[in-house]
Amino acid sequence: SIVYLNGDYVRLGDAKISVLDRGFIFGDGIYEVVPAYGRKPFRMAAHLARLERSLAAIGIKAGRSRDDWEKLVLDMLKRSPTADCMVYLQVTRGVAKRDHAFPKNALVPTVFCMVSPFTRPDAPHREQGLSVVSMPDLRWLHCEIKSVSLLGNVLAKQHAIEAGVDEVVQFRDGFLSEGSSCNIWVVKDGVLLAPPRNNLILEGIRYRFLEELAGDAGVSFESRPVSEAEVAQADELMLSSATKEVLPIVNYNGKSVGSGKPGAVYAKLRAGYDRAIA
């Protein structure tokens, strides 16, 4: 497949960066994942706004306008072999002699983009639901930045795999944060709950989207700290991400969530999601 690297379109195997790239050396960079259906990007403006926020948060000046990013994403989509796909965009601070400090003279950021096939969650996942286990959130305190420094997230996901489940639900000081690479949603007494949008979670592009879908479906929504006890006693649990869309969680720490089947609020959000894509 053809990927984009620093202005060139090259074969994936020919795309090479320096071992001194600060993305490689320090994880000094950020990324985005934009899903696309029928080669049409979904909520691209929100993804690109978050890309710009991530860049600004770590002081990388990529010298590209919103239009430039948009063109790049659309260009990659044209090259996708599959209609449903996702565009991965990564920007690092660039290549320099190893030194923690930002180099005095501004570097040329490394910009990489690829498009990969994306298989929408299938019927078994949608209908049977997922299993999760809880764990403490051991990551840093700037989770709002979509950083490529993902060691904490990688270890959290591996924790799930080794526990034989699909995902983790992380807690910081007894309150819900998020999954390893997704946001977590809780339903209690018909109210949809999600943790506040702050530095302790990555605000998913699906955060606002599901909030809108809940509004459309007449489900009340509250953004507030959610305790470990509230998660354990939830009527429904769900997760959301660009690649998982929205999926029900039916087993939490080995116990059924609610009835043990995907719930009514999930069904409404799922229906809204499918309608928005169709």
Site residues, ligand PDD (CB under 6 A): 33, 153, 178, 181-183, 202, 204-206, 240-243
Residue (92 or 153) nearer to ligand PDD, CB: 153
CB of 31 to ligand PDD, least distance (A): 7
Residue (28 or 167) nearer to ligand PDD, CB: 167
79 closest CA partner among 12, 3, 16, 13: 3
User: Do 167 and 221 contact (CB within 8 A), yes or no?
Assistant: no
Q: Just list the catalytic residues.
A: 146
Q: Residue of minimal CB distance from ligand PDD? A: 204
CB of 46 to ligand PDD, least distance (A): 8
206 closest CA partner among 227, 228, 179: 179
Q: What is the amino acid identity at position 201?
A: I
Residue (181 or 258) nearer to ligand PDD, CB: 181
CB of 181 to ligand PDD, least distance (A): 4
Residue (29 or 204) nearer to ligand PDD, CB: 204
Q: Is the dihedral of CA 177, 180, 183, 184 positive or negative?
A: negative
151: burial class by Cβ within 10 Å (0-12, 13-18, 19+)?
Answer: exposed
Distance CA(53)–CA(51), nearest Å, equals: 5
Distance CA(179)–CA(182), nearest Å, equals: 5
CB of 190 to ligand PDD, least distance (A): 23
Distance CA(99)–CA(92), nearest Å, equals: 15
